[in-house]
Amino acid sequence: MLTKIAALSLASLLTACASPFFDVRRTEAVLPLSRAWVDNQIVEYVTTDISDPNMARMLGINYVPRLAGAVRSQSNQSIVERVYKFPNEEQISIFQSAPNPVGAKNDDKNYSPLWQVIQVRWKKPSVIQELKSEEALLAAQEREEVELENTNIVVNCPVIRSATGHKLKGVR
């Protein structure tokens, strides 16, 4: 009788492990795709983690408070890049860099998928235009058309596809 109960318990456990939530045969996941400007080119990326709890809830991604520590890195070389975010959604974000090319042959030593969020606010709504590079954004700042606000928010947004068609393995 104990052997029969043990066998039923084991069968029940194995059935639970084979549930659609934990199907070991599943080989891909679907994540929301976003786009950003880098040097007048659009790249595509996914967002998985952020150091701000409100933004994590809003975006439905992982809240990772430790990411904020990347801004306070003790080394001379920062492990974060800058992402310029337009909080009023006048346009898509601007990334400081992107892998070149996307994938294992990237030769851009400055690229990092960790981004420190810089908030961009237009000071003169009459001059709002789409900015497509960090250089164009900094020129707009010099002309006092925008103001930039550094935050301690860090977000993990790996670039998965470039404008030239290079993409990470498995990206469709």
pLDDT of 14-44, one tens digit each?
A: 444 555 566 777 778 888 999 999 999 999 9
The count of structural domains within the chain is 1
Across the range 50-66, mean pLDDT stands at 94
Is 2 within the bounds of a domain?
no
Contact between 135 and 142 (Cβ < 8 Å) = no
Is 37 within the bounds of a domain?
yes
Contact between 66 and 80 (Cβ < 8 Å) = no
pLDDT over threshold 60, residue 85: yes
Find all residues with CB under 8 Å of 145, minimum gap 6, and list them. Answer: 122, 123, 124, 127
Is 123 within the bounds of a domain?
yes
Is 26 within the bounds of a domain?
no
pLDDT over threshold 90, residue 165: no
Tens-digit pLDDT profile for residues 130-147: 999 999 999 999 999 999
Is 16 within the bounds of a domain?
no
Phi first, then psi, for residue 56 (nearest 5°) are: -60, -45
pLDDT over threshold 90, residue 11: no
Q: What is the pTM of this model?
A: 0.81
pLDDT of residue 20: 58
Q: Could you list the residue range(s) of the whole structural domain that residue 150 is in? A: 31-161
Is 24 within the bounds of a domain?
no
